[in-house]
Amino acid sequence: MRNLEVYSEDSFTFYKDSVKRKRNPKDDLFYKDRLALLESYVQTRYQLYDEKFSNDLLPEILEHDYSNEEENDLLSLYSFKAKMLGDLRIKLTTTKNNRISNDCQNCTIGEVSSFDHYLPKDLYPEFAIHPKNLVPSCSICNSYKGKKWQNAGRRMFVSPYLDIFPNKQFLFVEIKATKTEIEIDFLIDNRNNLSLDLFEIIESHYTKLYLCRRFAENCERVITEIKTEFIKYSKKLTISDIQETITECANEHRSFFGYNHYAYILQIALTNNDDFIYDYVGLPKVTY
């Protein structure tokens, strides 16, 4: 999980350009006429969103009671496969080094296959294509997130635009390894003293999206890779040299993919766990 560049162009212009690209369905020749009637109000809502976004006050935006037809018309503007949204996805996932990171920014497990609407589009249909309301996401996170996004005026999910992710570890791993089995448990902990407001939203995000459980379910590839690395290089390098090399490489990846990326946190934890090295991998202990 890493911070994304905030959309810097005019949000409402993005809306208007999206509307221009839409065509009337063959069985509904007045679709764009109805959107035109909503344009002035949608503009005021976009201005409100941008203002609250700039001040991190999104929970202050109240829902508007649209008619079923108005709601459906606004929601119809959203299609993940639409050209403008495809261009937006590429722009948001391209890093400063001109590399595309296609990881879901809610979990870092799955690939981007949808946009998460930070303010749920079923509650705020006018923001279905607001570029600051769209987070590159996987479908699993989208299904877990649902409609509830705030509690008592506080955001419940991390925003890669609003929340500055620290270079402090809050995701940790507990490892239990024997010669035949290995058990991995992830946990969130504030032992490195993040601000309480930030840690609260991180903890809520990880809990609501079941991330610690999902990390554990997706760690077999990492375990196999690190085990293979130790077996491969143990004939040429000391254990400490292998540990140093893997840890250094994992930290380089963390600087790009996010300091608390579960895969690299796990790599480092496995690399420095004696039970994993000497029991599960089966390397001999060397005494001097």
Residue 199's contacts (CB-CB under 8 Å, 6 or more residues apart) are 170, 190
Contact 109, 265 (CB under 8 A): no
> Which tens digit of pLDDT belongs to each residue from 106-146?
999 989 999 999 999 999 999 999 999 999 999 999 999 88
Task: Report how far residue 76's alpha carbon sits from residue 22's, in angstroms, rounded to the nearest whole number.
Answer: 9
CA-CA-CA-CA torsion sign (105, 107, 111, 115): negative
Phi, psi of 90 (to 5 degrees): -65, -40
Q: What is the pLDDT of residue 285?
A: 82
SS3 199: helix
For the entire predicted model, the pTM comes to: 0.89
Q: What is the pLDDT of residue 287?
A: 53
Render the burial of 37-64: b for 16+ CB within 10 Å, e for the rest: ebeeebeebbeebbeebeeeebbebeee
Nearest to residue 138, comparing CAs of 202, 219, 73, 210?
210
Nearest to residue 230, comparing CAs of 261, 188, 199, 272?
272
What averages of pLDDT result for each successive group of 10 residues across the chain (288 residues)? 86 96 91 95 97 96 95 95 92 75 88 94 96 94 91 93 91 96 96 94 96 96 95 92 94 86 95 95 77
Q: What is the pLDDT of residue 92?
A: 87
Task: Report how far residue 5's alpha carbon sits from residue 162's, in angstroms, rounded to the nearest whole number.
Answer: 10
Q: What is the pLDDT of residue 101?
A: 74
